């Protein structure tokens, strides 16, 4: 006869780990307990952006330069501004001596008034058949010509003053006060009070090979405040290379203005960061990679139902605290980055706080 007090131990794994203790070899059904999911740091496989950095010497320029000149000849009576002054819209920039133009306008207005009186008198005479219609027509023509001369005189008087069409900074004064000037002779040069541009010479190979979607960011740096940088964006570029340097003049718009006095002509450094063209690199934390007894590398891949599976990978060089994966994974896959020391295929995990 066999002893009935023999003890039998049976272990089975279905999904999780089931431990069944069968005692006394009795006819009773086994009792199973599923272990709780193990905590693990779970991350997503990401693409690594390789980048290149280029820098160019740039020159601060205004987006627009305005030269002011009178449309008539004359002598400057007022030129109150100095180089560097800031003026608001509508302010007086320069004024010619207007006495002669005021007199001419007054004479024309007087002649026009007399011609209108003559015209009214002739109208009544024509109605009484005392003068011919041709005389009335000649008087009307003279009145119209005098009206045109009066408008011209008014415009000339108005042209004796130059006013600011917008907020401006005076950057150059070409003549002195009380100087005689000719029509269209430059008197002042000014730039609008707007964010300035930076123009830099960019090599032709960069213009030809770098696309807009490769640009990570563009920034300007200044020696006067080298602890900061200011964002830029491309405004425009000259579509013809310099015959001497084989570079293209690219104009960058300064998106933020420094608090200190930035002026046209100052030097800046333009720093361009771009993504390198080429195959996509995948990276994962170095702690996620393990090796088996044969020296092959693997990771623990996490399925949607939180169960893990061993997945072999090929690794590349490390980058900081991450490892490049050359084969075996795809962007977006989830893997265990920490807490994998006691995992087995088919075990269930739960994310720890702070997972990305």
Please tell me whether residues 294 and 269 are part of one structural domain: no
* Contact indicator for 150, 101 with CB cutoff of 8 Å: no
Taking the mean position of all CA atoms in its chain, how far away is CA 92? 35
**Other CB atoms within 10 A of residue 138 CB:** 14
Domain count, the chain: 4
Phi-psi region of 90 (alpha: psi -120 to 50; beta: other; left: phi over 0): left
Task: Tell me: do 171 and 74 sit in the same domain.
Answer: yes
Residue with tokens 């964006």: 233
Could you read off the pLDDT of 169-196 as tens digits, one per residue? 999 999 999 999 999 999 999 999 888 9
CATH number of the domain enclosing 308: 2.40.420.20
Same domain (yes/no): 225, 303? no
- Residue ending a domain, choose from 138, 169, 191: 191
One domain for residues 73 and 166: yes
CA distance 323 to 133: 104
Q: For residues 302 and 308, is the Cβ–Cβ distance under 8 A?
A: yes
Report the chain's terminal Cα–Cα distance, integer Å: 63
The CATH number that applies at residue 237 is 2.40.30.170
Q: Are residues 284 and 264 in the same domain?
A: no
Residue 35, pLDDT score: 64
pLDDT at 11: 31
3-state secondary structure of 329: coil
The two beta strands, 349-351 and 38-44, are: parallel
- Are 120 and 215 members of one domain? no
CB contact set of 329 (below 8 Å; sequence gap of 6+): 45, 282, 284, 299, 301, 311, 313, 335
Query: Is residue 1 in some structural domain?
Result: no
d(CA 73, CA 233): 43
In a domain, 295, yes or no: yes
In this structure, are strands 66-69 and 186-192 parallel, antiparallel, or unpaired?
antiparallel
Asked, for residue 2, whether it belongs to a domain, the answer is no
Where residue 108 sits, what CATH number does that domain have?
2.40.50.100
Within-domain flag for 356? no
Residues 103 and 175 in one domain: yes
Output the CA–CA distances (angstroms, integers) from residue 143 to 67, 101, 118, 140, 174, in the order listed. Answer: 38, 21, 9, 5, 42
Q: Report yes or no: 200 and 252 within 8 Å, Cβ to Cβ.
A: yes
Give yes or no: residues 155 and 133 share one domain: yes
Helix (H, G, I), strand (E, B), or coil: what is residue 32? coil
Give me the residues of the chain with pLDDT under 50, please: 1-34, 356
pLDDT at residue 172, as a whole number: 94
Residue 231 has a pLDDT of 95
Q: Which residues of 61-73 are buried (b: 16+ CB within 10 A; e: fewer)?
A: bbeeeeebebeee
Distance in angstroms (rounded) separating the CA atoms of residues 89 and 318? 60
82 and 57 together in one domain: no
Q: Please tell me whether residues 176 and 216 are part of one structural domain.
A: no
Strand, helix or coil at 15?
Answer: coil
Q: Which of these, 311, 317, 257, lies nearest to 283 by C-alpha position?
A: 317
Q: Running DSSP on this structure, what letter comes out for residue 288?
A: G
Beta-carbon contacts of 183 under 8 Å, excluding residues fewer than 6 positions away, are 69, 70, 71, 72, 73
Q: Domain for residue 91, yes or no?
A: yes
What's the residue count for the chain? 356
Residues 177 and 324 in one domain: no
SS3 content of the chain, % helix, strand, coil (to 5): 20, 45, 40
Which structure tokens are listed for 1? 């006869």
pLDDT at 31: 37
Full-model pTM = 0.55
Give the chain's radius of gyration (CA, Å): 43
Tell whether 3 is covered by a domain: no
Phi-psi region of 262 (alpha: psi -120 to 50; beta: other; left: phi over 0): beta
Answer for the pair 233, 271: CB distance below 8 angstroms, yes or no: no
Does some domain include residue 141? yes
Nearest one of 207, 209, 216, 214 to 251, comparing CA atoms: 207
Which of 227, 251, 275 is where one domain is finished?
275
Give the phi and the psi of residue 104 in degrees, each rounded to 5. Answer: -65, -40
Domain extent for 183:
68-191
Domain boundary among 191, 207, 227: 191
235 and 139 share one domain: no
Give residues with Cβ within 8 angstroms of 13, minimum separation 6. Answer: 346
């Amino acid at each position: 006869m066999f002893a009935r007090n023999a003890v039998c131990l049976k272990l089975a794994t279905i999904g999780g780990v089931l431990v069944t203790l069968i005692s006394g070899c009795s006819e009773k059904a086994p009792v199973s307990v599923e272990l709780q999911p193990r905590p693990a740091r779970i991350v997503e496989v990401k693409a690594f952006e390789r980048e290149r950095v280029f820098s160019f010497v740039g020159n601060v320029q205004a987006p627009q330069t305005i030269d002011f000149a009178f449309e008539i000849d004359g002598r400057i009576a007022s030129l109150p501004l100095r180089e560097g002054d800031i003026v608001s819209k509508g302010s007086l920039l320069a004024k010619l001596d207007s006495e002669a133009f005021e007199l001419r306008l007054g004479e024309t207005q007087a002649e026009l008034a007399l011609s209108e009186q003559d015209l009214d008198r002739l109208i009544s005479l024509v109605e009484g058949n005392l003068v011919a219609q041709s005389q009335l027509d000649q008087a009307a023509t003279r009145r119209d010509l005098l009206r045109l001369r009066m408008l011209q005189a008014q415009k000339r008087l108005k042209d004796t003053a130059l006013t600011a069409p917008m907020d401006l900074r005076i950057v150059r004064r070409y003549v002195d006060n009380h100087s005689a000037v000719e029509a269209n002779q430059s008197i002042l040069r000014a730039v609008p009070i707007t964010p300035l541009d930076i123009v830099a010479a960019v090599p032709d190979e960069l213009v030809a090979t770098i696309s807009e979607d490769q640009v990570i960011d563009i920034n300007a740096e200044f020696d006067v405040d080298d602890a900061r940088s200011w964002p830029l964006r491309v405004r425009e570029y000259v579509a013809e290379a310099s015959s001497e340097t084989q570079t293209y003049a690219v104009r960058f718009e300064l998106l933020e203005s420094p608090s200190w006095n930035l002026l046209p002509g100052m030097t800046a450094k333009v720093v361009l960061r771009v993504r390198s063209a080429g195959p996509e690199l995948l990276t994962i934390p170095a702690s996620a990679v393990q090796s088996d007894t044969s020296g092959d590398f693997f990771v623990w891949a996490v399925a949607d139902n939180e169960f893990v599976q061993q997945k072999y990978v090929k690794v590349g060089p490390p980058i900081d605290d991450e490892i490049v994966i050359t084969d075996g994974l795809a962007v977006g896959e989830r893997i265990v980055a920490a807490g994998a020391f006691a995992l087995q295929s088919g075990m269930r995990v739960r994310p720890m706080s702070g997972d990305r």
